[in-house]
Amino acid sequence: MDFVIRDFAPFDSLIQIAGRCNRNGRLSHPATVEVVDLSNEQGKRYSDMVYDDVHLQVTRQLTEEITEIEEKDILPLADRYFEMLTTKKDTGMEHLKKFARWEEDKSVKELLRGKEREKYTFLVIKQDPELKDEMTKANNIDDRWKRREAWRAIAGRITKISVSVYAKRGFDPQDIATEYLGQWILHDRFYSKDQGLVLDDDSTGEVLIL
């Protein structure tokens, strides 16, 4: 792999991508990773839909005057990145005040690990129009062992047309899909062969493709 284009992300994620592209250790001809800043038609950055605001802000501050990073510069920049993140961390005073006032606060798990986003998987059924009928036939088999085998037989087809997303800010999968036999069937207008998942204006900040 000689050239990779990567959407903007926190610095550690960008370095991880660069490492994967150069995992074969071709020091004489390392792969080039070009970082772009993609936005949707409403001008909202895709990176803002995916990553933590603080990590993105620190990365932008760190690289605002940098146009190219060589391998020898990565380590000092990484050190600076994590130093800047440390200064941005909450001291805990906000949570202490909420505790003292008996106000609702985040759980300990969420404070330590961050809020976990729920993951959904949708089927782009127009990529395999006959699959829905096959799912119905499999589900209607009375013998549970034969039914299980029938589902196994179409499992690969289901996986092939699946799109996984993480949800946030009150996202409701029923806004873009219909549940059928335990699967979310994505409405046709929310998927484009060229763009992938396509959301309405009101939903642009709600989900992100995995």
CA distance 6 to 33: 7
User: Is residue 27 pLDDT above 60, yes or no?
Assistant: no
Predicted local confidence at residue 20, as pLDDT: 72
pLDDT digits (tens, 9 = 90+) for 121-159: 888 999 999 999 999 999 999 998 998 899 989 988 888
User: Is residue 209 pLDDT above 70, yes or no?
Assistant: no
Predicted local confidence at residue 203, as pLDDT: 47
pLDDT digits (tens, 9 = 90+) for 83-97: 888 877 655 555 555
Angle in degrees, CA 97, 95, 106, rounded to 5 = 135
Residues in Cβ contact with 180 at an 8 Å cutoff, skipping those fewer than 6 apart:
132, 135
Q: What is the CA radius of gyration of the chain?
A: 22
72 or 22: whose pLDDT is higher?
A: 72
Predicted local confidence at residue 23, as pLDDT: 60
CA distance 192 to 208: 15
What are 38's two structure tokens? 């993609």
* Neighbour-count burial of 115, counting CB atoms closer than 10 A to its CB (0-12 exposed, 13-18 middle, 19+ buried): exposed
pLDDT digits (tens, 9 = 90+) for 176-186: 889 988 888 98
Predicted local confidence at residue 28, as pLDDT: 60
- Name the residue ranges covered by the structural domains of the chain: 3-88, 118-209
Predicted local confidence at residue 6, as pLDDT: 83
Residue 5, beta-bridge partner list: 34
Predicted local confidence at residue 132, as pLDDT: 92
CB burial string 179-190: b at 16+ within 10 A, e below? eeeebbbbeeeb
| Termini Cα distance of the chain | 22
What are 206's two structure tokens? 């709600």
C-alpha torsion sign, points 63, 64, 69, 73: negative
CA distance 42 to 201: 8
Element at 110 (helix H, strand E): helix 108-113
Predicted local confidence at residue 208, as pLDDT: 42
10: left (phi over 0), alpha (psi -120 to 50) or beta: beta
